[in-house]
Amino acid sequence: MAGAGIVVRNSIILVDFIELRRSHGVPLRDAVIEAGAVRFRPMLLTALAVVIGASVILADPIFQGLAISLLFGEIASLLISRMAVPVLYYMVNRKNEVVTS
């Protein structure tokens, strides 16, 4: 649940930033690229916090599985959501961009 919450939060942050830039008149393509670049640092810091926090419980045999799944899940979600969310947002909304331009 913790990993899923972080993935959803990262996705919402990206989409919200794209929408904010679009409301300021930035073209869709530029807004998507800017969102991926600008919001990467907060996403990376969140991932590092999870990795450091989960690495503390790696030595505990009971919670070791949880720590491993959090570590690799967060790293994978950072990489995937950073690429997938902006690309999917662009693909879905580019038809609207052509019609309104």
1-47: pLDDT as tens digits: 777 788 888 889 899 999 999 999 999 999 999 998 898 888 889 88
Supply the pLDDT for residue 99: 55
Find the largest Cα–Cα distance for the chain. 58
On whether the CB atoms of residues 54 and 70 are closer than 8 A, the answer is: yes
Domain boundaries, the chain: 2-100
| CATH class (in words) of the domain with range 2-100 | mainly alpha
The token duo for 50 is 């999870």
Side chain identity at 87, as an amino acid letter? V
Supply the pLDDT for residue 96: 75
Tens digit of each residue's pLDDT (9 = 90 or more) over 31-89? 999 998 898 888 889 889 988 988 888 888 898 988 888 888 888 888 888 888 889 99
Which among 91, 86, 80, 97 is positioned nearest to 26, based on CA atoms? Answer: 97
Is the pTM value of this prediction over 0.75? Answer: yes
What SS3 class is residue 88?
A: helix
